[in-house]
Amino acid sequence: MIGKVFNNRYKIIEKLGSGGTAIVYRGQDLLLNRMITIKILREEYANNTDFIRRFRHEAQAVASLSHSNIVGVYDVGFEENMHYIVMEFVEGESLKDYIRRKGMISSPEACDIAIQILAGVQHAHEHGIIHRDLKSHNILMSKDGQAKVTDFGIAVGMSDVTLTYNTSSRIMGSVHYISPEQVQGQAVTEKSDIYSVGVIIYEMLTGRLPFLGETPISIAMQHVQGELILPHQLNPKISMAVSYVVMRAMRKNPDSRYAGAKEMADALRAACESEMNGQAAGAAFSEDEGFKKALAVTKPAARKQARPARPRQLDKKRILILAGAGVLLIVLLLVVGSLTGILGGGKTTEVPGVVGDMLSDAEAKMEDKHLLVDVEYVTSDQENGIVLEQSVKEGEKVSVGRTITLTVSKGAATIPMPDVMGATRKIAELTLTNKNIMYNITEQYDEEKPRNEVIFQSPEAGVDIALDTVAELVVSLGPEPISIIMPDLLGQTPDEANPVIEENNFVILTTTYGVSYDYAEGEICEQSIAPGTPTKTGAELSLTISEGPGPQSKTHNVRWVVTGDGGGHNVIIRVSD
């Protein structure tokens, strides 16, 4: 598939991952020369009219939307029995992977992400589209922190009369994020999306999902009747105000939730601002009966003194309680009966082999077999995200809904990348060498940064890197050279010449000292590039500083008249200086 070109325009570059019904690739739009995402319906569903309808519906649903927090759809097509959608390419990771990597996310960051998600959801709702499958897997996080909603595969219009079960008797939506009304087969509204966003915020703030269980049935039932542990009770750093927003979004009764995504975003923004400012968020949450009850769930009940019995009232209460319990039991039996059929209660499935697969591919395979996945990360010399082990062997028969634990590599042991931005080249090299980090250095001209200053580093400071990571540094060469005539520095002292040297960004290689009869001591008497010679700014230059004239030779003529007596004579000449 790599290298294939659709419609003489969309070229597949590499596989990014896969889901239950489609495989996702990174591609290139050859016409517009930009990166794209190409989503291709799996071959086994290429002739399935239901899946084809949903696949095309996703393209049609998103094509009508244009928002910075929704992944855009550019094109849709069919070629060589393959259905494909061409979408915006988002360089980054899913919010699910981001949570797995970071654990609990701080309130300010979680609020910022959630408000972006709600902005995209609000835009979809304004155009009559309900997502129905919002989950952290379907939120893409770009490298600059922008959240984008994707995967509108089971979205519906608000005017459609729709239940949450499809013709294959499977729940439409992910069981960990699904709203109570979807579990019970009731009509879906925009408030169903509000509930799912509440689950996503809960997951960000606490690092875990609100409801856990061994089977999809047990998880789904908790959405209907389970008590919610509030986020601030799991993470004390979260304020009660933020907890209240999450609790209200996740109320069982849709009418008790926020009226819309914008109202929820405004409430979340106010709660986070009050938390950051250390202020109370007002009386709204403290007076809310639902919030009081939720708080009371985890508080020990106070002992009450025995009171005299009131037979008549007690009998009435008993009748009401029994009647209510009977109704609840009937409802639960109906729900459990439906869920058992929907989720395959009592059926078995064969565990697929996923060792060696990327986690996203492994999850898709497990989902196809109606199995749940739990992930444990370990340090390994294998690539980050590779499945190393699975708790149940390939080919074994297990009950539908069984949780399979996958041991996944988080890469080799890591160390934090030091901050060398703004350091000199020598300091940066010494810092990385002391940390045993390999590096490459690229030099480039920069109009603002001085020569030899580090102006870029990758990875960024603070990022955990494997010990075999090769860091990339870019070092400034200073401003790009321009042609000039070499100025005359002769006869100037170094201090006098320095402004000219700096202005032209000359690099002084060597400075030596020598005897000069033409220049006074301390003056420049030689320069390696002669004055008036064509050169460039930033040129390398060597200078010689005069030591003065030094010792000079002296001559004196001495005349001596030798007598002609034929005898020998000694001549002594004494010189003093």
Asked whether 511 and 543 are in contact (CB, 8 A), the reply is yes
Residue 190, Ramachandran bin (φ over 0: left; ψ between -120 and 50: alpha; else beta):
alpha
Q: How far apart are CA 512 and CA 507, in angstroms?
A: 15
Nearest to 102 by CA among 203, 210, 241: 203
Residue 561 amino acid letter: V
Tokens in use for 257?
């939730």
CA 271 to chain centre: 24
- The closest of 404, 413, 407, 401 to 357, measured between CA atoms, is 407
Q: Write the CB contacts of 557 (distance below 8 Å, at least 6 apart in sequence).
A: none
Residues 6+ apart with CB under 8 A from 263: none
Cβ atoms of 294 and 300 closer than 8 Å: no
Task: Look up residue 252 and give its two tokens.
Answer: 């069982």
**Are the beta carbons of 366 and 405 closer than 8 angstroms?**
no
SS3 (DSSP) at 397: strand
- CA atoms of 154 and 152, how far apart (whole Å): 6
What are the C-alpha distances in Å from 506 to residues 386, 390, 510, 529? 52, 63, 12, 11
Q: Which two tokens stand for residue 241?
A: 């105000």
Residue with tokens 């290689």: 509
3-state secondary structure of 343: helix
Least Cα distance to 499 among 484, 487, 515, 516 occurs for: 487
Active site residues: 133
Sign of CA dihedral 454, 459, 464, 465: negative
Cα(557)–Cα(357) distance, integer angstroms:
101
Two tokens at 121? 């959801």
How far is residue 105's CA from residue 204's CA, in Å, rounded to a whole number?
Answer: 5
Among 137, 132, 174, which Cα is nearest to 154's?
Answer: 132
What gap in Å lies between CA 431 and CA 534, rounded to an integer?
39
Q: Biggest alpha carbon distance in the chain?
A: 171
CA distance linking residue 267 with residue 242, whole number of Å: 9
Q: Across the chain, how many H-helices and E-strands are there?
A: 15, 26
